[in-house]
Amino acid sequence: MWKPFRDALKNCGSQSSRILVTTRKDQVAKMMESANTIKLEDLSEEDCWLVFSKIAFFDKDCQQCEQLEDFGKQISKKCKGLPLAAKTLGSLMRFKKSKEEWRNVLSNNLWELEDVERGLFAPLLLSYFDLSSPLKQCFS
């Protein structure tokens, strides 16, 4: 599957050209015969909270932030240090104003799903299920 893609990349660009390929899978980097591989670590719990909270609490007043902070920290922990999960869930929670809405996300059964792609599956599904029906069709 990767060989045609790799071969196409080898034949493009000049001698000094560089191509940056990002992946979460070491196996893909090996198949692409990467010259240099940089492994990024997950965010710390604190940094994950910062990413999540900057987005989730962007337009909320101080009182709302205080009321929702405990729920937010619990949701942020479920991101498992993954920046995409923190950003996706932060964006989802930004438009949820009540404690009940935050509690519903926190207690959603999707968190019980087996970790697919290192825990990204549940946050992305939660965000998807929150879309309107016409927007969901864009992903069908």
Q: What is the pLDDT along the chain (140 residues), one digit of tens a residue?
A: 667 766 776 666 666 777 777 777 788 778 777 778 888 889 999 999 999 999 999 988 888 889 999 999 999 999 889 898 899 999 999 999 999 999 999 888 877 766 555 566 677 777 887 788 888 777 76
Distances in whole angstroms, Cα of residue 53 to Cα of each of 14, 23, 87, 104: 43, 26, 9, 18
pTM of structure: 0.69
Instruction: State the Cα–Cα distance between residues 132 and 12, nearest whole angstrom.
Output: 41
Domain locations in the chain as residue ranges: 1-40, 45-137
Q: Give, for 73, the enclosing helix (H) or strand (E).
A: helix 62-77
10 Å Cβ neighbour count for 121? Answer: 15
Q: Give, for 94, the enclosing helix (H) or strand (E).
A: helix 83-94
